[in-house]
Amino acid sequence: MRAALSTLKFLEAGSLSHAFKIMKTHPGIMPTAGCTDIYVSLNFGTLKVREFLNLWGLSELRKIQMKGDYLSIGSLATYTQIIHSDSVKKWIPMLIQASSSIGGMQIQNRGTLGGNIGNGSPAGDTLPVLAAAEAVVVLGSTEGIRRISFNMFYTGYRKNAMNPEELILSVEIPRIKSQQWYRKVGTRAAQAISKIVMAAVLSKDPEEQQDPRRIRIAFGSLAPTVIRAFRTETALAENGNITEAQKTLLSEIQPIDDIRSTALYRQTVAANLLAEWWGKVSPRSLIKS
Ligand SMILES: Cc1cc2nc3c(=O)[nH]c(=O)nc-3n(C[C@H](O)[C@H](O)[C@H](O)COP(=O)(O)OP(=O)(O)OC[C@H]3O[C@@H](n4cnc5c(N)ncnc54)[C@H](O)[C@@H]3O)c2cc1C
């Protein structure tokens, strides 16, 4: 461990309001959930923070429950919890696929949805799911509760719209009645960080055929943040031509060369994934004559 543990200070939140107060009175303190990302940064010696707030005991942030028309998933819900949730299975099965692909069993037992969002890696596996599902992030502080659309949450590479004193409380996901699809492309099936992730939603409900949001496509690892491919969605909705949509996609993503992959590989695979998904979802019913 390159960061000396003896120099670190850990505070314990006894309740949510206590956690809000600590966040307000200790500027620069970092909240911790499962610590699976934080521990890696400490081990690499890249994390300069020395004061942490342990949220793990706040069981109210661990609930997964239906609230009217949306599913609320607490920020401390672990991947194991998500995988075993009947509500997630029924309404957001692509989130189960994403959660099952994360790390190994130990990481799934400890890693949380809030931690994946807070960490904000463009390769975070649940993030394209939340983008395609049009989730809402619920934030809290001593100032109160506020909601922000997940698609507005990231403002740049690992930067987000949270105020320093705020905590992620939960994620609200509208029930998705449409067909869902999730694919993670990595070096191998388990314990691999993704090279590309795609999540997509397609409504075949005749009543929603005029809804511009009936096709929703999101990618991870193709830009500094998770992205919604809005122009590609529009191209597909207009005429269903996959070749045109692939061209549009390539014009709206900015993949980079890095240690995990090359920009060219990512462009090629992204276009192939789009075509694979579109081929599977029987687009004929959507194509205008
Ligand atoms: C071996 C290994 C394999 C992994 N494999 C994958 C993988 O396949 N896919 C993948 O996406 N990730 C993977 N990860 C990364 C990590 O496990 C996930 O990002 C996980 O969801 C992080 O959750 P956590 O609770 O451990 O977060 P923590 O490490 O506790 O926190 C991460 C960040 O989020 C912030 N945070 C956490 N909770 C809150 C909150 N409630 N409010 C505000 N900020 C908060 C923290 O301050 C910190 O900045 C892997 C990590 C390891 C070590």
Instruction: Tell me the pLDDT band of 289, cut-offs 50, 70 and 90.
Output: very low
**The pLDDT value given to residue 285:** 47
Of 71-75, 82-86, 261-265, where does mean pLDDT reach its minimum? 261-265
What are the C-alpha distances in Å from 82 to residues 70, 99, 109, 113? 15, 7, 10, 9
Please list the residue range(s) of the chain that carry CATH number 3.30.43.
Answer: 7-54
Ligand 1 atom 4: residue of nearest CA: 103
CATH 3.30.465.10 applies to domain 62-174: yes
Which CATH number among 2.60.40, 3.40.50, 3.30.43, 3.30.70 corresponds to the domain 7-54? 3.30.43
- Between 115 and 263, the higher pLDDT residue: 115
**pLDDT tens-digit map of 126-166:** 999 999 999 999 999 999 999 999 999 999 999 999 999 99
Ligand 1 centroid–CA 166 distance in Å is: 17
Q: 30, 18, 198, 12: which is closest to 118 by C-alpha?
A: 30
**pLDDT tens-digit map of 226-258:** 999 999 999 999 888 999 999 999 999 988 888
- With the most atoms of ligand 1 within 8 angstroms of its CB, the residue from 30, 37, 188, 194 to mutate is 37
**pLDDT tens-digit map of 1-25:** 666 677 899 999 999 999 999 999 9
Q: What percent of the chain has pLDDT over 70?
A: 91
**The pLDDT value given to residue 258:** 82
**Which two three-digit tokens encode residue 35?**
């610590």
Using CB distances shorter than 6 Å, the residues near ligand 1 are 30-38, 40, 55, 75, 102-103, 107, 110-112, 114-116, 118-119, 124-125, 167-168, 193
**The pLDDT value given to residue 186:** 80
**The pLDDT value given to residue 189:** 63
Ligand 1 atom 45: residue of nearest CA: 118
- Between 25 and 208, the higher pLDDT residue: 25
**pLDDT tens-digit map of 59-83:** 999 999 999 999 999 999 999 999 9
In SS3 terms, the chain reads as CCCCHHHCEEEECCCHHHHHHHHHHCCCCEEECCCHHHHHHHHHCCCCCCEEEECCCCHHHHCEEEECCEEEEECCCEHHHHHCCHHHHHHCHHHHHHHHCCCCHHHHHHCEHHHHHHHCCCCCCCHHHHHHCCCEEEEEECCEEEEEEHHHHEEECCEECCCCCCEEEEEEEECCCCEEEEEEEECCCCCCCEEEEEEEEECCCHHHCCCCCCEEEEEECCCCCCEECHHHHHHHHHHCCHHHHHHHHHHHCCCCCECCECHHHHHHHHHHHHHHHHHHCCHHHHCCC
Identify the CATH number of the domain defined by range 179-282.
Answer: 3.30.390.50
Please list the residue range(s) of the chain that carry CATH number 3.30.465.10.
Answer: 62-174
**The pLDDT value given to residue 287:** 44
Please list the residue range(s) of the chain that carry CATH number 3.30.390.50.
Answer: 179-282
What are the C-alpha distances in Å from 136 to residues 149, 151, 167, 186? 4, 8, 14, 27
pLDDT at 288 over 50: no
